[in-house]
Amino acid sequence: MYRVTIRFYEELNDFLPAAKRKRDIVHTFKGKRSVKDLVESFGVPHVEVDLILVNGRSVDFSYIVSDDDRISVYPEFETLDIQGASRLRPEPLRDTRFVLDVHLGKLARRLRLLGFDADYEKDRDDDHLARISAEEKRVLLTRDRQLLMRRSVTRGFIVRSTDPAAQVTEVLERLDLWSRCSPFTRCIECNGIIGRLDPADGGDDYSAAMDLVPPGVRSWCTEYFRCRGCGRVYWRGSHYDKLDRAVREIMEAGKERRDRY
């Protein structure tokens, strides 16, 4: 029988029952186990963890827990320099490329609107999502904690909110991505890169693109953009104004949060 004291810090407490949040937890168990297995036995996905201290010393996920160990588990650090500590991943967690589970389609569109590479399809199963995350080094966004407990998944976190508008703010806040927003540079439909259509280029491609624009729009609009992936043509009409308001609301919400804290 092993007896340890473990404590989870900051947002990792979201995964714990109220009685175990923000306090030392005395825990007993039988048989040897790694610290990764121990952490996940509390319902905390390993990808949410960025640093583990055992008796004041940083360890990796393979560390075998000993009797009487004192274990401190921390989420990703935004400001504290922990370069001298044992890293829990071979590369830094922060990456602006995402893959999202089937329940987060609206969040995917909002991330694309802000210029982030957000890979999403509505018919993928958990095996497929985990494989994409591992092979393409994408941050896996999900509301399913069991999905993030897969050993192959090394990047990702649980999206806490159920409101799509709040979800995008949560992602930007958690990964400190506000300065990396580049609105209207990705197609919200297919995730492709959007580029400006130059009339000087002419040719069949330009003519084909203009065929997709209603005659009424061509009568007043002179600037067009096209997705290099799916070929959709965009222009700054009423739909653009609606999306622009959405972008401004997201950025203003983020500024208010940063000013508050």
pLDDT of residue 78: 46
Residue 32 lies in a domain: yes
> Number of folded domains in the chain?
2
Examine the domain organization and report whether 115 and 171 are in the same domain.
yes
User: How confident is the model at residue 21, as a pLDDT?
Assistant: 96
- 65 and 102 belong to one structural domain: no
- The DSSP letter of residue 163 is S
The structure tokens listed for 56 are: 């004041």
Question: Mean pLDDT of all residues in the chain?
Answer: 89
Contact 40, 105 (CB under 8 A): no
The domain that contains 26 carries what CATH number? 3.10.20.30
Binned at pLDDT 50, 70 and 90, residue 254 comes out as confident
**Residue whose structure tokens are 């640093």:** 51
Beta strands across the sheet bearing 70-74: 25-29, 2-8, 70-74, 51-54, 57-59
Task: Verify that 68 and 36 share a domain, yes or no.
Answer: yes
Ordered DSSP codes for 77-129:
-SSS--TTSPPSSSS-S--SEEEE-TT-HHHHHHHHHTT-EEE--TT--HHHH
Q: Looking at the structure, do residues 178 and 133 belong to the same domain, yes or no? A: yes
Judgement on whether residues 105 and 180 belong to the same structural domain of the protein = yes
Does residue 36 sit within a domain?
yes
Q: What's 189's DSSP letter?
A: T
* Residue 101 counted as domain residue: yes
The verdict on 131 and 61 lying in the same domain is no
Distance CA 63, CA 70 (A): 13
The distance in angstroms from the start CA to the end CA of the chain is 44
Q: 179 and 102, same structural domain? A: yes
Q: Per the domain annotation, does 119 fall within a domain?
A: yes
DSSP 55: T
The average pLDDT across 34-40 equals 97
Residue whose C-alpha is closest to residue 27's, from 74, 67, 75: 67
Query: What is the rounded distance in angstroms from the CA atom of residue 139 to the CA atom of residue 178?
Result: 16
Query: Do 181 and 112 share a structural domain?
Result: yes
Q: How many CB atoms lie within 10 A of CB 91?
A: 10
Q: How confident is the model over 54-85, as pLDDT tens digits?
A: 999 999 999 999 999 999 999 975 444 445 55
Mark whether 111 and 150 lie in a shared domain. yes
pLDDT tens for each residue of 151-162: 999 889 899 999
- My answer on whether 69 and 119 are in the same domain is no
Say what the pLDDT of residue 91 is.
56
Pull the structure tokens for residue 211: 């065929």
Beta pairing, strands 156-158 & 139-142: parallel
Which residue among 143, 165, 186 closes a domain?
186
Within a domain: 220: no
Q: How far apart are CA 198 and CA 210, in angstroms?
A: 11
67 and 116 inside one domain: no
Supply the pLDDT for residue 95: 53
234 in any annotated domain:
no
Please state the length of the chain.
261
The answer to whether residues 59 and 119 belong to one domain is no
Give Cα 45 distance to the centre of its chain: 14
% of residues, the chain, pLDDT over 70: 90
Predicted pLDDT at 16: 96
Question: Helix count (H) and strand count (E) of the chain?
Answer: 8, 12
- Boundary of a domain, candidates 186, 204, 219: 186
What digits encode the pLDDT tens for the residues 160-209?
999 998 999 999 988 888 889 999 999 999 999 999 887 776 667 788 88
Residue 210 lies in a domain: no
Residue range 232-252: mean pLDDT, rounded: 91
Question: Is 235 a member of any domain?
Answer: no
* CA 7 from centroid of its chain's CA atoms: 25
What pLDDT sits at residue 79? 42
Q: What would the pLDDT profile of 80-104 be if each residue is shown by its tens digit?
A: 444 555 556 555 545 579 999 999 9
Q: Which of 186, 202, 228 is the last residue of a domain?
A: 186
Domain carrying residue 113: 97-186
pLDDT band at 255 (very low <50, low <70, confident <90, very high): confident
